[in-house]
Amino acid sequence: MHLKDLDIIVTAPPAPGWGGRYWILVKVTTDTGITGWGECYASSVGPEAMRAVIEDVFTRHMEGENPENIELMFRRAYSAGFTQRPDLTVMGAFSGLEIACWDILGKARERPVYALLGGRMNERIRAYTYIYPLEHHDMETFWTDADAAGEAAADYVEQGYTAVKFDPAGPYTMRGGHMPAMSDISTSVAFCAAIREAVGDKADLLFGTHGQFNTAGAIRLGQALEPFSPLWYEEPTPPDNIEDMARVARQVRIPVATGERMTTKAEFGAVMRAGAAEILQPALGRAGGIWEMKKVAAMAESFNVQMAPHLYAGPVEWAANLHLATSIPNLLLAETIETDFHDSLIKGAIRVENGFVRLSDAPGLGIEVDEELARAHPYRGEALHLEMREEPCDYQEGNNFQGGAPASSH
């Protein structure tokens, strides 16, 4: 059996676009006719440019290869161009293709992917969700409305969730880490207070930031949130300086989580060696794939660090995240996004029930992709999957932004 054909589908979830503006799905077929699905979570270049990267990685390093030889194919891609260092775009391409290989191998052996990774360690996986607006909430004002966030958080707890994430702390700008406005700190405190009051001790608070603060600003904000005991403080400083994040971890009494913008054991290993985070959040469609993150999970065990796979993408990456999560002992949480489009795209094969997910014994990733639906929603926009704004933090009028969920996805 060897890898023969590749097809790439760039599909756009309907507005409001939870999960980003588009998802890049890859369909890999072997000479024996077995099809595997993967998802490339790569957003630093546009989808058409990314399509060319995926095709190059496949034809250069994987086409004609036995899908079992994942280690070999990884080393080819990682070493390409005489590099042997993390490359977010190349690894994003390889990650989705690698996930498809695991789907193929599971189907060939009639076993779920987690069974090939060491078996079922976790009978069920504790899920968390972003706090998204309820139907009666105003989409524009929700992201700075603490009372509305508390109401939505209570609704998620009623559904069975035991952890909710929110990120009210101001803009993500291309300027790198900035000092938060005092109003951003006040808004963040108000969110924590309202959500804690709404959920009590029935759910953990996951405070999301996305690398937008400088070190001093992250420490100021984190210390202001300590009375509400969040389970984590996510990516408080940009991911390109690990020692800065370690300084925050030493000064703030909230566990630091990071990883959604990192790739390969090289970057995750640096985080652990520096003591920069207690929780790692790999996105498997970017981080090097399932096998590479199985290695990182094992490394994390030796540092007493937990894993919480990240999801701001489509349901194929979610399936890969969950197979890894099922197989590892140091799992904390796994992110989920519940939309009709996510559910329909994999025909309801995986669902959150009472705040947890349990994978079936279905072979491969255990999903069937609705290819017709994916192709019926092509992405025709010019924007990237997620984008930072050029304007700086507003220290006078305040900052109202929509997090990672634009009101219009096209």
pLDDT more than 90, % of the chain: 88
Provide the pLDDT for residue 17.
81
Distance CA 347, CA 369 (A): 7
Q: Considering 61, 210, 323, 385, which one is annotated as catalytic?
A: 210
Domain coordinates in residue numbering, the chain: 116-364
CA distances from 64 to 31, 33, 314 (A): 9, 13, 28
Provide the pLDDT for residue 399.
85
Distance CA 312, CA 301 (A): 25
Residue 83 has which token pair?
A: 């590099």
Active site residue 310: yes
Strand (E) or helix (H) holding 29: strand 23-30
Question: What is the chain's mean pLDDT, rounded?
Answer: 95
Residue 105 has which token pair?
A: 């191998």
pTM to 2 decimals?
0.96
Q: Considering 178, 310, 377, 385, which one is annotated as catalytic?
A: 310
Active site residue 377: no
Report DSSP letters for 45-91, one per residue: S-HHHHHHHHHHHHHHHTTTS-TT-HHHHHHHHHHTTT--S--HHHH
CATH architecture of 116-364: Alpha-Beta Barrel (3.20)
pLDDT digits (tens, 9 = 90+) for 254-309: 999 999 999 999 999 999 999 999 999 999 999 999 999 999 999 999 999 999 99
pLDDT band, very low/low/confident/very high, at 23 (cuts 50, 70, 90):
very high
Can you tell me whether residue 280 is helix, strand or coil? Answer: strand
Distance CA 366, CA 385 (A): 26
Provide the pLDDT for residue 400.
75
In this model, does residue 10 exceed pLDDT 60?
yes
85: region left, alpha or beta (phi > 0 left; psi from -120 to 50 alpha): beta
CA distances from 217 to 170, 192, 247, 313 (A): 12, 18, 12, 29
Report DSSP letters for 150-217, one per residue: HHHHHHHHHHT-SEEEE--S---BTT-SBPPPHHHHHHHHHHHHHHHHHHTTSSEEEEE--S-B-HHH
